[in-house]
Chains A and B, each alone.
Chain A
Amino acid sequence: MTEASAPPVLSAASGESIAVVNTALDRRGLERLDLLLLTVEALAINGGEVMLWATQQLGYESLFPNRVELWKRRCTNPLRRSTRRTALTGEEIEALIRVICAMADRLYPMLHQLLWSREPSALQDQRWGKFDQRLRDLIGERMNLRRGSVQRLLETESSAPVQRQMVITLALASGPGGVDRLRASLQDPTP
């Protein structure tokens, strides 16, 4: 490959160069992307601030210079209470995927604890209960509760498998190969 045809790169604060991939997501992919960010917020204390810090660490200040801009991009989820019709660019989607993976890597010990079946079930129930409550609060605060799919996220029976799937997704998206795996998964067609 000649130098002229090489993909453009973003320089991360860590010095690592990040290839810009032209990522496109359909409606369902955007919903999952925002739900994963919401799951990260439910897991991390002061998650919104940590997420903004992660964008700066990854070198995405130009894309998300402040929390309002980050908030606007997240509002492209059609399930949001105040949704925005402006489409995300491929660069913005790629940046959000990398932010999710970086946060998942940081939160991996907590994800591992949630998925670890060899601990006492009472302790597990307590951990999942706290996570469930925080995620419900965030969904109730930010999502359009008139939408059927949002209501299903809040129903006790249907919410538990979705929450577990979100935690497993974050666990498998952490680590060095996680970005490619998560990107491919978000680009799945709607069945």
Chain B
Amino acid sequence: MFNLSYRYDQTAARLMVEGLPDISAGHGQGVIGILSSWKLQFVGSPELEGKREHLEAMLATVLPYARYRLSGVARPFGEADSAVSLAPANNGGHQLELRSSKPGVSPLTIALDDAELADLVRCLDAMRLDPRVQIAWADQSDRPLARRELAERVPLMKRLAPSVLGGSVLLVVALLSALVPLPESKQPKQEAAPIESAESSGSAAQPVPKAE
């Protein structure tokens, strides 16, 4: 049986996958169901290659990173011990790090700019959505981000500024109002009011006859 090979080209990136049809899954000729190897080449960078698990790690890292980047959130993806990690770089670009499963091999770091990241995402999208490559990848469905995750894109100082300012103003107003002397309380003098009898008050209420 022939080994199948498909290539996905972009301006600065090229992804190539090789494999065989999975006859047990009913794949026809020309469909890769078993991935044997893959290669990724960026312009001016060494060629990367690996097995299926490495490509899965690449998909699970790069696509969520791109999803967050689309919402303006720059945060790293991939654990320190995972095969692939991608993190924002200080120069505004992106740092792709690949760790070999072989012992004693130091990680390979590739600096990507936004154009190369977009090329990589397009290559991976084209491969995973290609009907000629029918491999059960992990679910990569895109969902809206949580409010908490979106808040991360705003710097901490900027996020805290309104509440800090409000608290400070409240404190200053409370201190100033504590310094203002309280007005002396003047007790109204109680004057001895003549006690009127119920009779006189009753007679007062009666209409006075008009003098003729």
Question: Interface on A for B, CB 8 Å cutoff?
Answer: 108-109, 111-113, 115-118, 165, 168-169, 171-178, 180-185, 187-191
Contacts and interface: CB of A to CB of B under 8 A. Distances in A.
A116 B113 contact: yes
B159 to A, nearest CB: 9
Contact of B118 (A115, A182, A188, A190): A115
Given A177-B125, A184-B143, A112 B119 contact: yes
Given A165-B72, A177-B128, A177-B129, 14 more contacts: A112-B119, A116-B12, A116-B115, A117-B93, A172-B66, A173-B70, A175-B126, A176-B125, A177-B63, A177-B142, A181-B70, A188-B150, A189-B144, A191-B153
Contacts of B125: 175-178
Interface in B98-129: 113-115, 117-119, 121-122, 125-126, 128-129
Interface string B118-151: 1101100110110000000000111111110011
Contacts of A176: 122, 125-126, 129
Interface string B16-52: 0000000000000000000000000000100000000
Interface in B62-105: 63, 66-67, 69-72, 93
B121 A172 contact: yes
A97 B11 CA distance: 25
Contacts of A116: 11-12, 113, 115
B115 A184 contact: no
B171 interface: no
Nearest to B128: A177
B154 interface: yes
B144 A188 contact: yes
B115 A115 contact: yes
10 contacts: A112-B11, A115-B113, A115-B114, A168-B69, A172-B70, A188-B144, A188-B150, A189-B144, A189-B145, A191-B150
Contact of A187 (B11, B129, B144): B144
Interface residues of B, number: 35
Which 8 interchain pairs have the tightest Cβ spacing? A177-B125, A184-B142, A115-B115, A171-B118, A191-B150, A115-B114, A117-B113, A175-B122
Contacts of A188: 71, 144-145, 150
A114 to B, nearest CB: 8
Contacts of B63: 177
Which among A113, A174, A184, A191 has the greatest number of chain B C-beta atoms within 10 A?
A191
Contacts of A113: 115
Contact of B122 (A165, A174, A189): A174
Nearest to A170: B118
A171 B11 CA distance: 13
A180 B63 CA distance: 12
A6 to B, nearest CB: 18
Contact of A112 (B93, B118, B145): B118
A56 to B, nearest CB: 25
Contacts of B121: 172, 175, 177
Contacts of B153: 191
A112 B154 CA distance: 27
